[in-house]
Amino acid sequence: MSELSVNHLLGIKYLTEQDIDLIFETADHFKEVINRAIKKVPTLRDITIANIFFEDSTRTKLSFELAEKRLSADVINFSAGQSSVKKGETLIDTVNNILSMKVDMVVMRHPNPGAGIFLSRHVKAAIINAGDGAHEHPTQALLDSFSIRERLGGVAGKKVVIVGDILHSRVALSNIFALKLQGADVKVCGPRTLLPKHIESLGVGVETNLRKALEWCDVANMLRIQNERMEFSYFPTTREYSQQYGINKNLLESLDKEIVIMHPGPINRGVEITSDVADSNQSIILDQVENGVAIRMAVIYLLASKIK
Ligand code: NCD
C-alpha cells in the first residue's frame, strides 16, 4: 500500500494498521534525511501550509513548522491570541479567509474536542489535528509508537502503561487507539478520580498502584497533570500525587528489570517524573522529540500526495 486510507489526520481512531505502517516506513526515510548534512528535500515546493493554534504549544508547533520547512513547503503561522478571533470571528470564517490565500493544508490545535472534524467538513483543505481539547493528538501518539518501535524493535506484544491524568489527556486517548491497533497490551494507571469511568471498554487494563503497573510493563508513558482543564481538585495536593504516582530513581532501580520511560512534554520535573529519571538512559523523551519531526514530515507528505 502506498497511500493513506484517509484525506485528513483527525484522530488515530480513523486510521488502519496499514496506515500506521505506511507512516512509519515513510518516517524512517525522513529520519535519515534530517540526519544528513543537508536536512531538506524539495518535495513539497508547491504546497502551502497554515499552522493555526488556538491553544498554547511549544514543541508541537515548532515540530510541525520544522517538518514543513524540511519538506520545502511554504508556511504561514497564526496564533488565536493575536488574531480577529478575539473580535468575534467564527472558526469557519477565520479558516476560509486563510484558505482564500490559496492554502492547501491546515494544521490546527483547538481547545474544543472535534474541532478538526468539524473543519474538515466545511473547508476545502487537508486538515491535521494537532490536538483538539481532551480528545485526540494523533501525531503525538504516532511519534510515541514510532519511538517504542525504535527502542524495543516493535510495538506488537509490548506492555505499555500510561500513567497520570488520563481523564483530561488527548495524548492518552490517541495512544490507547494507536497501541491497541498495533497489538500492544495497554494499561492505564492513576488515581481513580483521573481515570475515565468506562475506560476498560477501550480494551485497556486499569491499575491504581504505580509499583504494580511498573512491575508489569515494558514501557511507562508519564503524563502531565492538565491543570488548565480542571475546574476543581482531583487529588489532595501535588506533593501527595507525586508521592503516589511520580517516578523517581529509587522506584525505578527497585524494579527487577529496565523499563523504558516516555513523556510527551512539557515535563513538570519533580511532579510526575524526577530530573534524574527524565535525564537517565532509560528515558527516551528527547528521542520522542526528534522522531516528532520525522513523523510529521511523513504525515504531511502522505496527505499532500493525496491533494495533488
Ligand atoms: C501534550 C499536549 O499538548 O497535549 N503536549 C504535547 O503536545 N507535546 C501534553 C501536555 O500538554 O501535557
Delineate the domains of the chain, giving CATH numbers in brackets.
12-136+289-304 (3.40.50.1370), 138-285 (3.40.50.1370)
Ligand 1 atom 12: the closest Cα is on which residue? Answer: 224
* CA separation for the pair 182, 48 (Å, rounded): 32
Chain centroid, CA 82 distance in Å: 25
Query: Per the structure block, which three cell numbers stand in for 298?
Result: 511523513
264 lines ligand 1 (CB under 6 A): yes
Q: Is the pLDDT of residue 136 over 90?
A: yes
| 3-state class (DSSP) for residue 35 | coil
> Residue 98's pLDDT is what?
83
DSSP codes joined into one string, 62-75:
HHHHHHHHHTT-EE
The H or E element containing residue 98 is: helix 91-99
**Atom number in ligand 1 closest to CA 169:** 4
Q: Residue 65 — φ and ψ, nearest 5°?
A: -65, -40
Residue 141 pLDDT level (bands cut at 50, 70, 90): very high
CA of 41 to the centre of ligand 1 (A): 28
59 lines ligand 1 (CB under 6 A): yes
Q: Is the pLDDT of residue 83 over 70?
A: no
Write out pLDDT tens, residues 193-252.
999 999 999 999 999 999 999 999 999 999 999 988 898 889 999 999 999 999 999 999
Write out pLDDT tens, residues 25-63.
999 999 999 999 999 999 999 999 999 999 988 899 999
70 lines ligand 1 (CB under 6 A): no
Neighbours of 142 (CB within 10 A): 27
pTM, 2 dp: 0.96
CA of 37 to the centre of ligand 1 (A): 30
* CA separation for the pair 162, 136 (Å, rounded): 15
**Atom number in ligand 1 closest to CA 140:** 7
> Residue 231's pLDDT is what?
84
What's the order of all strands across the beta sheet hosting 74-79?
A: 74-79, 48-53, 105-110, 126-132
182 lines ligand 1 (CB under 6 A): no
Contact 6/138 with Cβ under 8 angstroms? Answer: no
**Atom number in ligand 1 closest to CA 55:** 3
224 lines ligand 1 (CB under 6 A): yes
131 lines ligand 1 (CB under 6 A): yes
